[in-house]
Amino acid sequence: MSFSFNGETRGYLKVLRGRKRPAWASVTRDLLIVPGKPGGYLQNTAVQPRPIDVPVMIEGENIANLQKIKEDLAAWLVTEEPKELIFDDEPDRTYFAIVDETLDLEELVRVGQGTIRFICPDPYKYGQEKNASFPSDVVSLNYGGTADGDPIFELEVLQPVTFALIQNQNDEYMMIGKPVNVDEQVPVEREQRIFWSQGDTLTGWTTGSGIDGTVTGAMASNGYMFYPTNFGAGSGWHGPVMKTSLPQVLEHFRVDTIVEFFNSAPSVGRLEIYLLAEDGDVISKIALRDTTPNRAATYGEARVGNAAVNYYMFNDTGATPSTWTNFFGMLRIGRYNDEWFAYIAKIDQTTGEHTARMYRSWRDTEGQFRKNLAQIQVHFGQLSSYTPITAMGIHDIKVFKWNPITQTDIPYIAYEGDKITFDNRDKNILINGETRLDLKDFGARFFKLKPGENILTVYPEQSFKVTCRYRERYK
């Protein structure tokens, strides 16, 4: 018999008899003893980390090879955080374990014996992940674990909603947004999408101007993104530029773009989104650039104003020079009244979740940058004759008009096609992969699945296609 750890096994390792795998983690009770009264009062219960002792034998070709095997064993088992531990005789249960102490082997020629001690900071064991689809707004979910589980609810939005709520039979609930009291309130579109390009065509776009450099080269669409076909030539920054007019001129706005920027040494380049006024003046831009040919280092740039008069909300690499390297994600910039804001985040292409996030805001107290938004301009750049970054493109551009609201207005929080996630495991709320804990109702709480039957109800009715992901947990 053997085991897998962190998804790997080793053929040279065998588990011996005498392993210690407790039936449950140690439970410590805190009792209050009152003189003159029999027994005591239970004040607190603490579940301790679960230790697992595994006697093993490893076999090498000779004594020298045995030493190399020990090095490989350390590289495999010594980790910085708990990893999945699965035993051959219990293949449907997973422990999350980390090695504790050391392994002292009794060595005899080419064979070594000893005991590996694992510690499970999370004392429970887990079954395989399960998925449950809700056939209606009220469902019964049978949870087979013996310890409470952490569900992840995913709600695909079918129609505009001002709130989303899931509750169980114990009146525990999670909710974002606000329901509408139709006697006193009106649902409104706070953020109204007025422009959407999915990168599928450049029809309606014309050659732009006014970039921080020279307009040269050309770009095209491959059916799902804009990309540079050539950069032309120039002594400084140069490359293709295209722009398009918006159907409305906006005072309050938000611009969301999905881009890719895959850079590596010795490539140098930039990708820029310009926001233009009716007269073509640059009112702001958001960009990615790499100007270090000897290593990959992506800078995020969010600027209010043009090249001459401006304010930078950010102009750096994030936490490290590699934070935004090989970027696929969102660039966002906008203004409401005189409050400017910018956001940059990678997007996990498997889960859709936003990572490596940065948000900055700035208030234009002097009212310098109040021109209205009328055009969007995009640019791919090469610096001088340095090797250009060719693996970059713009997948999606959305422009939203921000409509003023009153105290009696309740804004929609999600629209058809959006995905809301209530992650009770990581205590997070997401809309389209972006954290939105700011929308959580004050009384809402992340809740657990209880052993046995769970009655789950979703509101508003007929507004979502719901799935629940969870792992049954065992004491």
Q: What is the DSSP annotation of 286-297?
A: EEEEE--TTS--
- pLDDT, tens digit (0-9, with 9 covering 90-100), for 190-221: 999 999 999 999 999 999 998 999 999 999 99
The span from the CA of 419 to the CA of 421, in Å, is 7
Asked if residues 333 and 400 have their Cβ atoms less than 8 Å apart, the reply is: no
- Token readout for 368 is 């310098």
Adjacent-strand bridge partners of 112: 58, 107
Q: Is the pLDDT of residue 290 over 90?
A: yes
Q: Is the pLDDT of residue 144 over 90?
A: yes
Give me the chain's average pLDDT, please.
Answer: 95
Mean pLDDT confidence for 8-35: 89
- Token readout for 18 is 């005498």
pLDDT band at 227; cut points 50, 70, 90 = very high
Q: What is the DSSP letter of 425?
A: T
Mean pLDDT confidence for 177-195: 91
pLDDT in the model for residue 473:
96
Asked if residues 222 and 443 have their Cβ atoms less than 8 Å apart, the reply is: no
Asked if residues 231 and 213 have their Cβ atoms less than 8 Å apart, the reply is: no
pLDDT band at 185; cut points 50, 70, 90 = confident
* Phi and psi torsions of 403, nearest 5°: -95, 135
pLDDT band at 273; cut points 50, 70, 90 = very high
pLDDT in the model for residue 63:
86
Amino acid letter for position 47: V
Asked if residues 282 and 379 have their Cβ atoms less than 8 Å apart, the reply is: no
Total residue length of the chain: 475
pLDDT in the model for residue 71:
93
In the structure, how many helices (H) and strands (E) does the chain have?
A: 1, 38
* Phi and psi torsions of 277, nearest 5°: -80, 180
Q: What is the DSSP annotation of 2-17?
A: -EEETTB--TTEEEPT
The span from the CA of 471 to the CA of 127, in Å, is 6
Q: Is the peptide bond before 388 cis (omega within 30 degrees of 0)?
A: no
End-to-end distance of the chain based on CA atoms, in angstroms? 24
Mean pLDDT confidence for 215-237: 97
Q: Is the pLDDT of residue 459 over 80?
A: yes
The span from the CA of 10 to the CA of 57, in Å, is 11
Residue 16, C-beta contacts closer than 8 angstroms, at least 6 positions apart = 55, 56, 57, 113
**Residue 301, number of CB atoms within 10 A of its CB:** 19
Residue 79, C-beta contacts closer than 8 angstroms, at least 6 positions apart = 6, 98, 99
The span from the CA of 112 to the CA of 70, in Å, is 9
The span from the CA of 65 to the CA of 58, in Å, is 11
Asked if residues 290 and 263 have their Cβ atoms less than 8 Å apart, the reply is: yes
Query: Tokens 């053997």 belong to which residue?
Result: 2
Structural domains of the chain, ranges and CATH numbers in brackets: 3-123 (2.40.30.200), 127-189+408-474 (2.60.120.860), 193-402 (2.60.120.200)
pLDDT band at 19; cut points 50, 70, 90 = confident
* Best CA proximity match to 309, nearest among 268, 368, 262: 368
CA distances from 421 to 141, 152, 351 (A): 18, 7, 11
The span from the CA of 305 to the CA of 284, in Å, is 5
Q: Is the peptide bond before 460 cis (omega within 30 degrees of 0)?
A: yes
Q: Is the pLDDT of residue 451 over 80?
A: yes
CA distances from 207 to 11, 210, 464 (A): 62, 11, 42
The span from the CA of 333 to the CA of 272, in Å, is 12
- Token readout for 163 is 């709130």
